Structure formats: C-alpha cells, structure tokens
Amino acid sequence: MKRTLKNLLQNSRSINFLTSDTSTNKNWSDSISLNLLIYIISLPSIFINLVYSKLSNLFDSSYFIDFFKFIGSNLHYLIGMSLIFIFIIPDHIWSNLYAVILIALIAILYYLNKGLSKNPKLELEKLDYSLVIFFTTLFIAGLTSVFLKESLNQLIFYMATFVLISIIILEIDSEKKLYDLTKFIVLSAVLTSIYGLYQWKIVGIAVNPSLTDLTINQNLGARVFSSFGNPNVYGEFLVLSIPFFFPIILKTKKMVYKVILAISSLPVLLMLFKTGSRSAWVAFAVCIFIFVFLWNKKYIPVLIVLGLAAIPFLPSSIYNRLMTIFNPNDTSLKYRQMIMGPALVMLRDYWVTGVGLGSKTVALIYQRYKSFGLTTVAHTHNLFIQLWLEAGILSILSFIIFMFRLAKNSYIRVNKFKNSKLSLIISAALASTLGILVMGLADYVWFYNRIFLMFWINISIVLCALNLKQGQ
C-alpha cells in the first residue's frame, strides 16, 4: 500500500509540477510559434550579420566595428549605468521618455552586437513562456482600451520595459555579469539615500498633510522622498533594492570591503525609516524574513527574537506610526476602504476584459462608480485589483501563475546550490519581489513607472540566475 501510494505520488503530474524545476520548458523551446517568433525578432540582427559577412574584409580592420564589439561585450555595464541615471534623476525633471529613449539605444546596441556575432539569432527560449504570456495580455489590454489615447503612453512604457528585461535575460550569460548588475542597483540605492539626506538635513522638507494624518502622527516629521517625488514610492524603490546588499556583503571576500558596504547601507536603511511608509516597513520585514528563510532557515528563530527585542528601542515616532496600522481612525485606511467598495462594483462589470492599461483609464471609468465624499481617485491602492481592472482576468491569472512558477523554481534552485553567489542573488531578488507584492495589497506599486521598471528588473535578475549554471 505504501509503495503504491509512493509510486502514485512520484508519477503524478501535479506533484511533479509542484516539486520540479520548470524554469526550462522543452515544449516551449521546440514550439513552432517560438521558432517563428525568434526568426521575426532576429531579422534586424540577421540583416546586419549578412552585410557584415559580405563586407568582412572592410569591417575587420575598422576601429568603429571594434568599438561596437567592445560595447556589445560589456552591455551589462551600460544597462547598469542607465539604471543609475533612471533612478537618481529628481522627479520634478523626470520624464518617462528618458527611459524609453535609453532602452531604445540599448536595444540598437544589442542588435548590432548580435549582428556582428557568429549567431545572429536571439535565444528567446531563455524567456519564460508565462512571462511572454503576461506581457501579451498587457499588450492586448493597451490596444483594446476604452480610452485608447490614455492607454498608449502606458503601453509604450510597458513594452519598453519588456524589451529591456528581455535584453537583460538574453545578454547576461555569466555569474559575474549578473553580480555586477546587482552592484549597480546597490549603487543606485546609495546615491538616492545621499540625495535623501541632502533633502532632509540641508534643504529641509515641509510636512505634507495630504501624506500624513497629523492628528495621530504628530511626531513623525517630514517624510523623505529623494528623487521619487513621493515618500511611499521611494519606500517601494528601497524595498526592491536594499536586499541586494546581502549577497554582495556575504560574498565579498575582504573584510574591509564588507565593512565599507555595511556602512554604505546605513543611510539607505535610515532613508527607509524616514519615508514614513508603513507598508514599506512591513514589506521590508517580509523581505528580510524571506531572504533569511532561503539563505539559512536555522536563523529564523534568531531573526524573530531580534525583531521582538528591537521593538522597545524603536524611536517613538516610528513605533507610533506602525501602531496606526491598527487605528480605525487613520484617514489613509478609511480612504482606502472608501475606494475599494466602488472598485469591486466596477470589477463586477469589467472582470473579463478590463477597461484598458493605465491608472488614468481606470480613474475615468471609476468616476461613474465612486461613492459620495470621494474626489479624484488616482488608483485603487491595490496592485492585484488594479491589474485586474486594467487588463482583465487573463492578465491577473497569467501574472499569478508566472509569480508562482518563479517562486517555486527559485526555491528549488536555491536549495540545489545552497549559499552560492547565484543562490544568494536569487534569494535577494525574490525576497524583494515578494516583499513588494505584499506592499501591493495596500498600494498600487506599479502606479509610478520607474517602480514598475525596477520590479521587472528584479524579475529579470531571477530569470537570469535560473538560466545560468553553477559556476558559469
């Protein structure tokens, strides 16, 4: 009986799906649709390769070609520097067009590099099929929007994001390149924290009553927003970036560098507290728990004890701010509750197809449903409801399936290569991603496009690591 049950479990497709690494899929890599897509997407690099091969005698002695080959072999550095630029530009001078232009330039350089290589075809099989399906649902939602004009700008940025993360997944083919990219993310966090310190201590920040209920947060003070224009948004960025300090610190061999990295993380952590974002604090705690769980489960009890022991030492402003989560009189909680009721009624009418990409599209339709007392509503303050309203049932389901597969495959890979550099990078990226999804229960964390980009960069780092072999 026991042997029969064991055989049934071993041969069960559902059990195998839950317990096996499905980051590579033979049906996907061998499919006619993928191979057709590879050929179509690779046409520019194939054309460049044909021209290059015909005129190889002329091009081989060209410094111009040597320069592009050099850039192509170090494209991850250009991507990293672009990320720093994207995240440190102050909000009041930022435009989403900057990111789109940078991504377009990176894409052109990537195609040139592929065209000058021996294999001009793009290895799209490295892309997770459920990721492709999800972004396809966003593409359809953008084109079928009830307010097409309002959705097009969002669609362009979303597709640019997909191009960038695809290039990251296809281009980063070594552990070193991936490790270097995480260093750029850490540097971005440090630079934004320096800017935040400048705001706080040099320029000064006025208390904004629209962001803080002053009746129950008298001692909170000004909330730092750095280059992001909003303290909650800055908190989201820090939740997505801080965990990358862990693999770098743990895998740096020289003690002096460990100390420097640890010290450089202090202003970043301070800025997280100075955002005053309760959801970011909770999300960061979730990040820490998930990272420690994946890194070494035996430290979980120690982490819990340290967390509880730290509560009496928290500054009164932070402790009181955290306790307002349970205060029924908090205006932000009441506001979210007022928004959610009409949003669910709206979802009942548009649950199949959604209304179209972008918070503006949702906000325009929401005007028909909002209750008395609500003025302008920018979004639903819930990532999952907002996504469902924008892109419909197929989008939210494909996103959930993709995230489940990502978390499962990451857990299997981390356990297989315990405490390696790759496993620590996966742990950091997955922890920050799951942490921000917890934050997404109380905030629409994709409202700000730079955070949407950062979220999917974290995803691309996980997928890169899953594609790499240990020591590659």
- Asked if the model's pLDDT at residue 5 lies above 70, the reply is no
- pLDDT for 400 equals 96
Alpha-carbon separation of residue 389 from 33, 367, 378, 433 (angstroms): 29, 14, 13, 22
What integer best gives the mean pLDDT of the chain? 87
- Could you read off the pLDDT of 278-323 as tens digits, one per residue? 899 999 999 999 999 999 888 999 888 888 888 887 777 777 777 7
User: Which pLDDT value is given to residue 37?
Assistant: 85
Domain edges within the chain:
62-182+303-472
Reported as half-sphere exposure (CB side, CA atoms, 13 A), residue 48 has a value of: 20
pLDDT of residue 21: 67
> Who wins on pLDDT, 117 or 395?
395
Query: Of the ranges 44-58, 199-213, 404-418, which is most confident?
Result: 404-418
Residue of 150 and 220 predicted with greater confidence: 150
d(CA 416, CA 449): 35
Whole-model pTM?
Answer: 0.91
Return the higher-pLDDT residue of 187 and 68.
Answer: 187
Q: How far is CA 8 from CA 1, 4, 5, 20, in A?
A: 11, 6, 5, 16
From the list 136, 270, 302, 234, the residue with the least C-alpha distance to 448 is 234
pLDDT at 43 over 80: yes
Confidence of residue 213 (pLDDT cuts 50, 70, 90): low
Helical packing angle, 175-197 and 421-439, nearest 10°: 50
**What is d(CA 244, CA 424) in angstroms, rounded to the nearest whole number?**
9
The pLDDT tens digits of the residues spanning 335-357 come to: 788 888 889 999 999 999 999 99
State the pLDDT confidence band at 418, using cuts at 50, 70 and 90. confident
Q: What is the mean pLDDT of residues 185-210?
A: 88
Burial of 461 (0-12, 13-18, 19+ CB in 10 A): buried
pLDDT at 12 over 70: no
- Per-residue pLDDT band for 204 (boundaries 50, 70, 90) equals confident
Coarse DSSP helix, strand, coil percentages of the chain, rounded to the nearest 5 percent: 75, 0, 25
Q: What is the per-residue pLDDT for 237? A: 97
**Which pLDDT score, from 0 to 100, does residue 8 have?**
57
Instruction: Give Rg (Cα) of the chain.
Output: 24
| Neighbour-count burial of 26, counting CB atoms closer than 10 A to its CB (0-12 exposed, 13-18 middle, 19+ buried) | exposed
Give the SS3 label for residue 121: coil
| pLDDT at residue 66 greater than cutoff 70 | yes
The answer on pLDDT for 125 being more than 90 is no
d(CA 269, CA 63): 46
DSSP conformational letter for 200: I
Q: In the predicted model, what is the mean pLDDT of residues 177-203?
A: 94
The band of 2, judged by pLDDT with boundaries at 50, 70 and 90, is: low
pLDDT for position 256: 92
- Output the CA angle 385-390-393, nearest 5 degrees: 70
Q: Does residue 97 register a pLDDT over 90?
A: yes
Give me the torsion for CA of 334, 335, 340, 345, rounded to 10°.
110
pLDDT at position 219 is 61
Q: Mean pLDDT over residues 379-404, rounded?
A: 95
Specify the pLDDT at position 370. Answer: 80
Residue 70 has pLDDT above 90, yes or no: no
Q: How far apart are CA 245 and CA 256, in angstroms?
A: 15
